[in-house]
Amino acid sequence: MKIQNIFISHLHGDHLFGLWGLLSTMSLTGRNEDLFIYAPPGFKDILKSILHFFGGSFIFKVIHIPLNTKEMSHIFESKSADVYSFPLNHRVDCCGFLFKEKKPHRNVYKHLIEPYGLSLYEIARLKEGKNVIRPDGDVLYADDLTYQPYEPRSFAYCSDTAPFEMLSDYVRGCDLIYHEATFASDMKEMASRTMHSTASDAAFTALEAGVGKLVLGHYSSRYKDINVLVDEAKKIFMNTFASSEGLSFEVKLKRFMTK
């Protein structure tokens, strides 16, 4: 019931069919807040069908926000994060998603508050990174009196896609990326034909983008042991892991030293 926004990469069933049950469950548990679904333009007709057959009892609105599947776009903002969509290279219109924490307010060095006689107004401005000019002309410089407490974190979700040059630019420097790895390299022709990626493709993207951690997923059912895919990727990008249902990955805060 806490879910406010849903991001759907493309309109293939394995990325979409769970929505019917989720919306029905929300209705049965009495949801009354609006729900926003970010999905390719074609989702409009799918949503119309869902609401026609199952939405009669809904007391909440389901609002479709169409994605731009041709270029990177800023699609959502909260107090703590921004979300961007970016085009992927698949058989149908498909987007990846980039989640970025907002830059935190700066912290004032506590041991300097009393010597400088900082007022609450001055502290608030300095935390915003703004210099303060006092009535007597003295300038309080934010860089001298404050510090950034931590580096904002970022996560990218790269669902179904064949490799392409721009992908590493879209996810450059991310702390964590999820990237499909449907096949191993011995199935490279199949991957190309179906517009999917191999584990090596995912690893090369992670390497070129300079990301912190790579998580693989979307494995073909032919692989009973997914370590085949993980081991292949690790030869190129060592910090690679396999996704599985219920598994979580921590991105620790990179805190800055204070003086």
217 alpha-carbon distance from chain centroid = 15
14 is a catalytic site residue: yes
DSSP single-letter state for residue 14: G
Rounded Cα distance between 194 and 102, Å, is 37
Q: Are strands 240-242 and 213-217 parallel, antiparallel or unpaired?
A: parallel
Distance CA 211, CA 255 (A): 18
- Token digits of residue 66: 């169409």
Catalytic residue among 14, 45, 169, 231: 14
Q: Of 47, 69, 71, which is closest to residue 58 (Cα–Cα)?
A: 47
DSSP string for residues in 40-104: -TTHHHHHHHHHHHHGGG--S-EEEEE--SSS-EEEEE-SSEEEEEEE--SSS--EEEEEEEPPP
* 3-state SS assignment for residue 212: coil
Q: How many helices (H) and strands (E) does the chain have?
A: 9, 16
Angle at alpha carbon of residue 94, lines to 47 and 58, rounded to 5°: 15
Query: Is the Cβ–Cβ distance between 69 and 94 less than 8 Å?
Result: yes
The answer to whether 130 and 105 are in contact (CB under 8 A) is no
Q: Cα(first)–Cα(last) distance of the chain, in Å?
A: 43
Active site residues: 14
